[in-house]
Amino acid sequence: MAKKLKLDKSILMMMAVFGVTYVSYTVPYVVLVPYLTSLGYTGTEQGIITATGSLFGMVMTMIFGYLCDKFRTIKKFVYLSAALLAVATWVFYSQTNNVFFFHLIFGMFMQGFWMILQGLTDGWAMEENEACRDNYGSIRAFGAIGWIFGGPIVAWVAEQFGYQYLGLLFTILTLIAFAVEYFVPDADKKPSEKGEELKLSDVKKLIGDKKYLLLVLLFFLAFFVLQAESYLSIQKITRLNLDTAAKYTTLKSSFQAIFELPFFFLGGYLLKKFGAIKLLMVALVV
pLDDT digit string, tens, across residues 273-286 = 888 788 878 877 77
**Predicted pLDDT at 200:** 66
The 10s digit of each residue's pLDDT in 240-257 is 888 889 999 999 999 989
Whether the CB-CB separation of 271 and 1 falls below 8 Å is answered with no
For the chain, the distance separating the N- and C-terminal CA atoms, rounded to the nearest angstrom, is 27
Of 17-26, 152-161, 175-184, 252-261, the range with the lowest mean pLDDT is 252-261
Whether the CB-CB separation of 221 and 40 falls below 8 Å is answered with no
Whether the CB-CB separation of 128 and 220 falls below 8 Å is answered with no
- Percentage above 90 pLDDT, the chain: 55
CA 140 – CA 134 distance, rounded (Å): 12
The 10s digit of each residue's pLDDT in 222-235 is 777 777 777 788 88
CA 158 – CA 166 distance, rounded (Å): 7
CA 169 – CA 154 distance, rounded (Å): 8
How confident is the prediction for the chain on average, in pLDDT? 88
**Predicted pLDDT at 2:** 44
Decide: helix, strand or coil at residue 160.
helix
Whether the CB-CB separation of 33 and 246 falls below 8 Å is answered with no
127 contacts: CB under 8 Å, gap ≥ 6 = 74, 133, 187, 188, 189
Burial of 203 (0-12, 13-18, 19+ CB in 10 A): middle
Eight-class DSSP state of 243: G
**Predicted pLDDT at 213:** 85
CA 276 – CA 264 distance, rounded (Å): 13
The 10s digit of each residue's pLDDT in 49-96 is 998 998 899 889 989 998 998 899 999 999 999 999 999 999 999 999
Residue 4 has pLDDT above 60, yes or no: no
Q: What is the pTM of this model?
A: 0.86
Whether the CB-CB separation of 35 and 103 falls below 8 Å is answered with no
